[in-house]
C-alpha cells in the first residue's frame, strides 16, 4: 500500500491529465522511483479506465490479434522427488494442457537434473517442457544442467544463476554455449529498462516480465523491444493480475508470447475475494479465451473491498 507521500505525488502527476498520455505518465512516475507494484497498480487502473471510456477491451485499443491462448501449467517449487514431478506433468498432459513449466528449484543441480530427466522420460520427446531455474547455480553448474536440457529438448532454461546485473556476462556466456534458449531475468527488481540491457547484451534468448514490474505500459514497451529483436517474451507466474496479462497477449502474436503461464489452470470458474468476475477458465483444448468486456475485463466487488479495507 502506498504511503501518503507517494499518494500525494501520484495525484500531482495525474490530476488534469488525459488517460491517452499513458506513456508520459508512466515515465514520470517511474522516474519518481515509486515502488514498481504501486506504479503497476496506477498504470493498470489507467488502462482499465481508458478501455471503459472507449467501451472497448484494452486489447482492442492496441489492435486485437487473437481470441485465445494456449495455457502453460507450472509444477510449483519443490514438489517432491523426481517421480512426483513426472506424475504431475504427465497428468497435465493427459488433461490436455499444452505445456508445463518444471520448477525443480531445489538449488542442487544434480537433483534438479534428475527431475528434468524424469519428466522428459515420462511425457515423451514432443511435449513442451520449460525448465524453471533456481537462481542459485554457479556458472559451471548452470552449464552442466544446460547441456542436459539440450539433450532433453526443453523449450527454454530459466534463470539458473543469480539475476544481479553483475552476473550478466555469465548469462551471455551461458547463452553462447548451450542450445536451449536462456530465459530471464525473471525477478529482476527493475522494470523493462533493465531487461532491455539483458537483451542487448545477449544474456537471454527469451525475456521475462509481469505487469507487477511496472504495469501494462512497461510490458508493452518490453514486448516491442522483444519483437524487434525477434525473441519471445514470457509473462511468468500469473496470479491475480491474469486479466491484464490476457489483454497484452491478445494484442500480440503467438510467436512473441506463446503461452499463458497459469500455475493452476482450472476448468471450473472461481472468484477471488474482492472480485465479481471469475478467474480465467481453461477449456478442453487447454486454452483460455480472451475477455471481450470493456477495460481489463474485471469487475470488482466494491462492497467486499469497502468492508474489508484496513485503512
Give yes or no: residues 207 and 107 share one domain: yes
- Of 119, 112, 181, 187, the C-alpha closest to 144 is 112
- CB burial of residue 68 (10 Å; 0-12, 13-18, 19+): middle
Residue 71 lies in a domain: no
Last residue of a domain, one of 238, 262, 285: 238
Give yes or no: residues 160 and 80 share one domain: yes
Give yes or no: residues 108 and 224 share one domain: yes
Residue 243 lies in a domain: no
Element (H, E) at 29: helix 22-31
Give yes or no: residues 82 and 212 share one domain: yes
Answer for the pair 234, 261: CB distance below 8 angstroms, yes or no: yes
User: Could you give the dihedral angle defined by the CA atoms of residues 131, 238, 248 and 279, in that order, rounded to the nearest 10 degrees?
Assistant: 140
CB atoms near residue 16 (< 10 Å): 6
Sorted by sequence, the CB contacts under 8 Å of residue 236 that are 6+ apart come out as: 158, 186, 208, 209, 210, 261
Q: Is 175 helix (H, G, I), strand (E, B) or coil?
A: helix
- Of 252, 227, 224, 255, the C-alpha closest to 65 is 252
292 φ, ψ (degrees, to nearest 5): -115, 5
Triad 171, 174, 180: Cα angle to 5°: 115
Give yes or no: residues 220 and 98 share one domain: yes
Residue 205 lies in a domain: yes
Residue 199 lies in a domain: yes
DSSP annotation of 291 reads: P
Element (H, E) at 302: helix 302-308
Answer for the pair 42, 10: CB distance below 8 angstroms, yes or no: yes
Last residue of a domain, one of 207, 223, 238: 238
3-state secondary structure 244-279: HHHHHHHCCCCCCCCEEEECCCCCCCCCCCCECCCC
Q: Is 206 helix (H, G, I), strand (E, B) or coil?
A: strand
Give yes or no: residues 25 and 152 share one domain: no
Q: What is the pLDDT along the chain (311 residues), one digit of tens a residue?
A: 667 788 888 999 999 999 889 999 999 999 999 999 999 999 999 999 999 999 999 999 999 999 999 999 999 888 899 999 999 999 999 999 999 999 987 779 999 999 999 999 999 999 999 998 889 999 999 999 999 999 999 999 999 999 999 999 999 999 999 999 999 999 999 999 999 999 999 999 999 999 999 999 999 999 999 999 999 999 986 666 789 999 999 999 999 999 998 877 778 888 889 999 998 899 999 999 999 999 999 999 999 999 988 76
Q: For 5, how many CA atoms within 13 A lie in the half-sphere containing its CB?
A: 4
Give yes or no: residues 87 and 224 share one domain: yes
Give yes or no: residues 117 and 226 share one domain: yes
Pull the grid cell for residue 96: 490436455
Domain count, the chain: 2
Q: Which residue has the cell 499518494?
A: 7
Give yes or no: residues 232 and 155 share one domain: yes
Answer for the pair 270, 85: CB distance below 8 angstroms, yes or no: no
Pull the grid cell for residue 210: 509481469
Domain hosting residue 32, numbered range:
4-57
Give yes or no: residues 117 and 216 share one domain: yes
Answer for the pair 22, 62: CB distance below 8 angstroms, yes or no: no
Give yes or no: residues 15 and 158 share one domain: no
156 φ, ψ (degrees, to nearest 5): -160, 170
Amino acid at each position: 500500500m502506498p504511503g501518503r507521500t507517494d499518494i500525494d505525488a501520484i495525484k500531482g502527476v495525474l490530476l488534469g491529465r488525459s488517460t491517452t498520455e499513458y506513456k508520459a505518465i508512466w515515465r514520470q512516475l517511474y522516474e519518481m522511483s515509486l515502488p514498481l507494484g504501486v506504479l503497476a497498480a496506477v498504470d493498470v487502473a489507467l488502462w482499465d479506465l481508458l478501455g471503459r471510456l472507449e467501451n472497448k477491451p484494452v486489447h482492442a485499443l492496441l489492435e486485437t490479434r487473437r481470441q485465445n491462448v494456449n495455457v502453460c501449467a507450472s509444477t510449483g517449487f519443490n514438489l517432491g522427488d523426481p517421480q512426483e514431478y513426472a506424475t504431475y506433468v504427465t497428468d497435465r498432459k493427459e488433461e490436455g494442457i499444452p505445456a508445463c513449466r518444471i520448477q525443480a528449484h531445489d538449488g542442487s543441480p544434480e537433483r534438479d537434473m534428475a527431475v528434468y530427466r524424469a519428466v522428459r522420460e515420462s511425457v515423451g520427446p514432443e511435449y513442451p517442457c520449460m525448465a524453471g531455474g533456481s537462481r542459485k547455480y554457479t556458472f559451471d553448474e548452470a552449464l552442466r544442467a544446460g547441456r542436459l536440457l539440450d539433450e532433453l529438448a526443453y523449450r527454454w532454461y530459466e534463470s539458473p544463476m543469480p539475476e544481479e546485473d553483475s552476473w550478466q556476462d555469465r548469462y551471455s556466456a551461458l547463452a553462447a554455449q548451450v542450445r536451449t534458449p536462456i530465459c530471464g531475468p525473471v525477478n529482476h527488481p527493475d522494470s523493462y529498462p533493465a531487461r532491455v540491457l539483458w537483451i542487448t547484451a545477449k544474456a537471454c534468448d527469451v525475456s521475462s516480465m509481469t505487469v507487477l514490474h511496472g504495469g501494462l505500459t512497461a510490458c508493452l514497451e518490453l514486448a516491442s523491444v522483444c519483437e524487434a529483436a525477434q525473441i519471445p517474451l514470457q509473462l511468468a507466474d500469473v496470479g491475480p493480475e491474469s486479466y491484464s496479462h490476457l489483454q497484452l497477449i491478445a494484442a500480440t502474436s503467438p510467436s512473441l508470447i506463446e503461452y499463458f503461464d497459469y500455475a493452476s489452470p482450472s476448468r471450473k470458474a472461481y472468484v477471488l475475494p474482492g472480485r465479481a468476475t471469475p478467474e480465467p477458465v481453461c477449456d478442453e483444448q487447454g486454452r483460455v479465451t480472451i475477455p471481450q468486456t470493456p477495460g481489463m475485463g474485471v469487475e470488482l466487488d466494491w462492497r467486499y473491498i469497502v468492508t474489508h479495507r484496513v485503512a
